[in-house]
Amino acid sequence: MNVEILLIIICMGAVTYIPRWAPLYLLSRRALPSWFIEWLDFIPAAILSALILPAILTVGEPRRLDPLTPEFLLSIPTLLVAVKTRSLAGTVLTGMGLYWLVQKFMS
């Protein structure tokens, strides 16, 4: 293996590892304020929303807003199930089932 490639691999690992390790190392010895811990609880939902929302609300190339996509329309009853039941499994099964039904009958 070329030394240059090995050095690139090591540097890529460091660039990936250090930003994940540093906050854990620096914050693990401190008592964090309760507002900050509550704020951190919203990060997974915000990231998931940022990944999913463009996929269900936009279509075509270049991307354009279309709130009548089947994916968005199916997300509404799925959201209602999530809010009502607060069950991850129920929500996932509802969304998958509705999506399957629409794909089966629209094809």
pTM: predicted TM-score of the whole model, two decimal places: 0.59
**Per-residue model confidence as pLDDT tens digits over 35-51:** 998 998 999 989 988 99
Average pLDDT over residues 51-72: 89
Distance CA(31)–CA(37), nearest Å, equals 10
Pairing mode, if any, of strands 64-65 and 58-59? antiparallel
- Tokens 């620096």 correspond to what residue? 26
Residue 54: name the closest of 63, 41, 42, 45 by CA. 63
Residue 30's pLDDT is 87
Residue 8's pLDDT is 95
Cβ atoms within 10 Å of 75's Cβ, excluding its own: 19
